[in-house]
A and B are shown apart, each in its own frame.
Chain A
Amino acid sequence: MSMKNKQPKTKVKLGKLEKREARAGYFFIAPWLLGVVLFLLYPLAQSFYYMWFNIRITPLGTKFNFVGTGNFTQIWLENPEFPQQLVTYIWQTIVEVPIIVVFALIIAIMLNGKIKMRGFFRLIFFLPVIIVSGPVMNMLVSEGAASIPALNVQSVVSAFDTFLPRSVAESVGEMFSNMIMVLWYSGVQILIFLSALQKVDPSLYEAAKIDGGSNWECFWKITLPTIKPMIMLNAVYSVIFLSGNEQNELINMIEAAMFSGTKEKGYGYASAMAWMYAIVITLIVGLFFLLLGSKKDVYDRQVKKAQRAQKKERRLQKKIQRRGKRNARNIESKLKSNKYRTHESSDNY
C-alpha cells in the first residue's frame, strides 16, 4: 500500500504547441536576456578580472599590470579608511534595518485601525520616498534639519559609549543624530506593511476573539506570522536601499578611487573595493534571510519527517526483498550443483 503513495515523476516531452509557446516566452524576455549579458554578466566578469590588475590610463592606451592580490593588501593594509568605513557600514545597517522595519510596522498597525484621515497620514508618511535623494539629504543633514529636535544626541551617544565598543558606539551615535533620515527611509515599507495588514483574513481574528484571544495575542499569533514574508521583503529592501544610498560613504569612496590619479589606485583598485562591498552586502542580506526566512510550520515539518521515514522503510523493505531473492537464487543454484549437503526432507540449512 505504501508503495503506491507516490508515483515516480515521468518526464513528458513537450508537444509542438507547448514548444511554440515556450519560444514565444523567450521572445518576450529576449531584450532582458541580452541586457543581462551586456550589463550584468559581462561587467561582472570584467570587474572580477580587473580586480587582479593595476590599471592605469595613459595617453597611449590602458595599461594592465598584473598584481595578484596586491589591490586587496593595498586596501586592507595601507588605506585605513576603507575597512573602517566598511565596519561602520555593517554596524549601521544591522542596527538601522530593524529600526526601519519595526518603525514601519508600528506605523502601519496604527494606520490600519479605524482612523479618520488615514489618507492624510499615509500622504505624510510616504512623502519622503518622493524627495529623498543624495544631495537633498546631504543639504538637510548639513543644516541640521535631520535630527529630532527634542532628542539629546550627546547623552544618547555617551550612554552607548559605556557598554559598547568605541567604533560601534560612534556609528550608532551618528545614526541617532540623523534619526529622521533613518525614519524617512521607511516610506515604502509602511505602505507594503499596510497593504499586507489589510489583506489578513478578518475571520481569523473573529475566530480568535471567540476563543478568547486578546488583541496582544492576536498580534503575535495571527498578524505577525501572516505578514512574516513581508517583514523579510522589507528588511531586504531596506538593506539594498541603504547600500545604494548616497549618504553611504563607501560608494563615494569607490567612485573616488576609480578616478583617482594616484599610482596604486584606479579601475582595478576600485573593482576590488566594489567586490568586497558586494560580498558584504550579500552576507548581510543572507543574514536577514536566515533570521527572517520562512521556516515551515510544525505541522509541515512533521509531515515531511513522516514521509522521509516512510521512504526509508520502503527502501529497507525493498533491500530485504532483493537480498532474500538473491539468497534464494544462490542457494537454489548451489543446490542444483549439489554443493550443499543437506538432510533429506529438511528445510533448514
Chain B
Amino acid sequence: MRAATTIKHRFTKEKFHRFIFGTREKQGVGRQTVVYLLLICIGFVYLYPVLYMFSTSFMNRDDLLDSSVKWLPSTLYLQNYIDAAKSMDLFTNFCKGVLIAGLPTLCNVLICMCIGYGFARYNFKGKKLCMGLLIFSYILPSQVTMIPTYVLYNNTGILGTLWAFVLPALLGNGLNAPIFILIFYQFFKQVPKVLMEAAAIDGAGHFKAFVRIAVPSAAPAIITVVLFSFVWYWNESYLTEMYVQGLSTKSVWTNLVIQLKNFDSAFQTKASVGDTATSLNESVRMAATSLTVLPLLIMYFALQRYFIESIDRTGITGE
C-alpha cells in the first residue's frame, strides 16, 4: 500500500511531461529524440545523391540489372573507374584544373585583400558610390556582360588562355570577387584603428601598415577566401568553357568538370575504338562524377574545420 503510493508519487504526470518535453534548464528526452531523428533523416536525404553515386559507381553490369542489389555491390568492381579515368584523361586534366582554379584564386586573394582594406580603412570621396557599384556588380548576372567581354578577349587574343581568368582576377573582378571584397572589408573594419595609428606614428607608410599589420591579422579571412575561391573556380564550368577553353576555338585548357559535361560523347568515341572494357552505363557515368568530385571531397574532409568555421570568422553576421 505504502509502496504503491510512493511509486505513484514518483511517476506523476508532471514528471513524465518534464521528462519528455524538458524544463527551461534542460531539454527533455522526447524533444531531443525528435530533433536527432529529424537531423538524421534530413542528413540522409542530403547525402542520398552522394551515397547513390558512390555505390552505383562500384557496380558491374550484373549488379545494375539485378534488382535485389540496391546499395551494396556484390563485388568491388573497379573497372568503371579505370575506364572513366581513361576517358576523362584524369591526370592531365586534374593538373590543368588545379592551375585553372589555383592561379586566379591567388590573384583573387591578393587583390581583394587590397581592395577590402582600401574600403575599410580609408574614407574617400565616392566611397558609397563604389560600394553600391560593388553590390551592383554582384547582383548583375554575368550573362549581360558576357558577350562584349567575349568579344574583348577575342580581340585582345587572350581568349582560350589562362589570362582570361587571371586578368579579371588581377583587376578585382574575378569570379564572385564582390563577396570576397566584402569579406575582407568586414574583417579589416574590425582591426582597431589605434593599431594603424600606432604604426603610422612608428613611421610606417600606408603600404607598410597594410602589409605588416593588416595582412597578418587577416589569416582567417584569407583562408576562407582561398578555399571558397578555389572551390568556386573549380566548379565553374560555364565561364571556363566560354573564356578559358573558348567555345569555338577549343584550346587545350579544360578541367574535370568540363570533361564530365562532355563525358558521354567522349566515352562513346573511346568505346567505339575499343579502348574501354565496358560500354556506357550509369555506373561508368557515376564513376566519372565521383572522380570529378573526389579531389574536392578530399580537400573538404582534410580542411573541414576551416570550411565550417569560415563563415563564423568572416564576421558577415556582425559581432
Contact B140 A25 (CB under 8 A): no
Q: Is B39 a contact of A191 with CB atoms below 8 Å? A: no
- B117 CB within 8 Å of chain A: yes
- For residues 39 through 64 of chain A, which have their beta carbon under 8 Å from a beta carbon of chain B? 39-40, 42-44, 46-47, 50
| Closest Cβ neighbor of A137 among chain B residues | B49
A271 to B149, CA, bound (A): 12
Find out whether the CB atom of B170 lies under 8 angstroms from the CB atom of A31: yes
Q: Tell me if A114 counts as interface (CB < 8 A to partner B).
A: yes
Q: Does B146 contact A (CB under 8 A)?
A: yes
Q: Say yes or no: B257 contacts A282, CB within 8 Å.
A: no
Residues of B with C-beta under 8 A to A271: 144, 147
Bound-state CA distance A236–B236 (Å) is 20
Contacts of B216 in A (CB 8 A): none
Tell whether, in the assembled complex, residue A43 and residue B149 are in contact, meaning their CB atoms are under 8 Å apart.
Answer: yes
Contact residues of B: prevailing secondary structure: helix
One of B3-11, B270-278, B309-317 contacting the partner: B309-317
Whether A25 and B308, one on each chain, are in contact in the complex, defined by CB atoms closer than 8 angstroms, is no
Q: CB-defined interface of B15-48 with A at 8 Å, one 1/0 digit per residue?
A: 0000000001001000000011011001101111
Q: Which of B46-62 contact A (CB under 8 A)?
A: 46-50, 52-53, 56
Point out the residues of chain B lying under 8 angstroms from A21, CB to CB.
Answer: 122-124
Beta-carbon contact of B46 and A124 below 8 Å? yes
Please name all residues of chain A whose beta carbon is closer than 8 Å to the beta carbon of B238 when the two chains form the complex: 134, 244, 246, 251, 255
Picked from A119, A125, A138, A277, the residue with its CB within 8 Å of the CB of B46 is A125
A113 interface residue (CB < 8 Å to B): yes
Question: Is A258's CB under 8 angstroms from B147's CB?
Answer: yes
What's the least CB distance linking A235 to chain B, in Å? 12
From B114, B133, B148, B237, residue with most partner A Cβ within 10 Å: B148
Judge whether A148 is part of the interface by a CB distance below 8 angstroms: yes
Shortest A70–chain B CB gap in Å is 17
Given A130-B231, A244-B142, CB of A28 within 8 Å of CB of B147: no
Does any Cβ of A come within 8 Å of B186's Cβ?
no
Nearest-CB distance from B44 to chain A (Å)? Answer: 9
Query: With an 8 A cutoff between CB atoms, is B168 at the interface?
Result: yes
Query: What is the chain A residue whose CB lies nearest that of B115?
Result: A32
**Most B-side CB within 10 Å, residue of A25, A123, A146, A278:** A25
Query: Which listed residue, B46, B144, B234, B257, touches A180 by the CB 8 Å rule?
Result: B46
B97-117 contact mask (Cβ, 8 Å, vs A): 1 or 0: 000000000000001001101
- Find chain B residues with CB under 8 A from A134 CB: 235, 237-238, 257, 261
- B304 lies within 8 A of A28 (CB): no
Q: In the complex the two chains form, what is the Cα distance from A111 to B46 in whole Å?
A: 15
Can you list 12 contacts pairing A with B, beta carbon distance less than 8 Å? Answer: A32-B172, A38-B173, A43-B147, A50-B148, A115-B39, A130-B296, A183-B46, A184-B49, A236-B139, A273-B143, A278-B144, A285-B139
Cβ-closest 10 pairs across A and B: A25-B122, A28-B118, A35-B171, A133-B235, A46-B148, A32-B172, A43-B145, A43-B148, A22-B124, A35-B173
Q: A31-B171, A39-B173 are known; give 12 further A-B pairs, CB within 8 A.
A: A25-B118, A28-B122, A29-B119, A29-B172, A36-B173, A39-B145, A124-B46, A130-B300, A136-B257, A246-B238, A267-B151, A274-B143
Interface residue ranges, B against A (CB under 8 Å): 24, 27, 35-36, 38-39, 42-43, 45-50, 52-53, 56, 111, 114-115, 117-119, 121-125, 127, 130, 133, 137-152, 168, 170-173, 181, 206, 210, 231, 234-238, 242, 247-248, 257-258, 260-261, 263, 282, 285-286, 288-289, 292-293, 296-297, 299-300, 304, 307-308, 310-312, 316-319
